[in-house]
Amino acid sequence: MNTLKELRITQGRAICYSGFRQGQNPGGVYPSYDEVMQDLLLLHGHWKYLRLFDCDKHAKTVLEVITKEKLDFQLMLSAYIVAEMNNFNCPWNGGVYSEERLEINRVYNQDRINKLIKLANKYSDLIFSLSVGNEACVEWTDHYVPEYKVRDYVKQVQSKTEKPVTFCENYVPWLVKLEKLANDVDFISIHTYPVWEYKHISEALDYTKENYYSVANKYPHKPVIITEAGWATHSNGRGISPENVNEKYQKIYFENLMKWAEEENILTFFFEAFDETWKGSPEPMEPEKHWGLFRIDRTPKLTLKHLFNR
């Protein structure tokens, strides 16, 4: 088996980064060079690894800033693949598309994989790993892609780059249906969100450990990392009780999670660096908007106040 060390992946502080600010969103207005530079200077020296969600205009700006400003980061670069099959189990308004739309999506996804390969080879000194998708196989996703297609994307990227390749997914599908994909990837990436599963902060770390070890024990021949784990700071009640989220609880979860991850040598990306107001419903307290360690205006929340006293 390959270990993370053999894949040249070492322990270090890791965080998910998406820099979309007020009035910006994927496919619309993207963060500028100066805005991305401001973000990365906030993160520089505190985090070694950044995880990017797509090989889009935003990712290209991030790569450009790191290169020109000579910043010390290593990136997990991803291709965000969209629905190739209808998912009638999606619990919100999404997941079902026309066959014409699905065919367009298949072409789009292949283009995304091609871009991932191109950027990986161009910026091989900055990119330490590649992901061919994000939460595309879990039962509630609105962008379902069947396992055999994800496996094909993994093999394409492996054949045309020298970087280890993974797929980022909720821990449950790895336990129940992604055995073939688990054998194909160079390492397994899981997501764990105790607060989405109605766990109180007092139960949070134990639940994360349970999620992680259930996958790690199922695949002892594969390295397993955490590519998303976090705690929201606000909620309008959609899926998360407002009483269960605040800055104090986020600080507790962050500190406990990082301590455990470092002690056990588990690479763990905290979700996420900055709040993103474009996500979820228009409701201001929609929990999807409030996972950042920084607010949308780049002021630090309680977890980071001791580092950024301003």
CATH code where residue 120 lies: 3.20.20.80
Residue 174, H or E segment: helix 171-176
Dihedral (Cα; 304, 305, 307, 310), 10-degree rounding: 130
Residue 166 maps to a domain: yes
In a domain, 5, yes or no: no
Instruction: List the beta bridge partners of residue 166.
Output: 131
- pLDDT in single tens digits along all 310 residues of the chain: 678 888 989 889 999 999 999 999 999 999 999 999 999 999 999 999 999 999 999 999 999 999 999 999 999 999 999 999 999 999 988 899 999 999 999 999 999 999 999 999 999 999 999 999 999 999 999 999 999 999 999 999 999 999 999 999 999 999 999 999 999 999 999 999 999 999 999 999 999 999 999 999 999 999 999 999 999 999 999 999 999 999 999 999 999 999 999 999 999 999 999 999 999 999 999 999 999 999 999 999 999 999 987 5
310 found inside a domain: no
- The confidence score (pLDDT) of residue 310 equals 55
The candidate with the shortest Cα–Cα distance to 189, out of 161, 160, 163, 219, is: 219
Tell me the residue type at 218: K
Give the SS3 label for residue 294.
strand
pLDDT at residue number 93? 81
Is position 309 within any domain?
A: no
The answer to whether residue 195 sits within a structural domain is: yes
Report yes or no on 7 lying in a domain: no
Q: How many domains does the chain have?
A: 1
Structural domain containing residue 38 = 14-304
pLDDT recorded at residue 306: 93
- 49 domain-assigned: yes
Both structure tokens of 252: 């507790």
Query: How far is residue 302's CA from residue 249's CA, in Å, rounded to a whole number?
Result: 10
* Global confidence as pTM: 0.97
Q: Is residue 4 part of a domain?
A: no
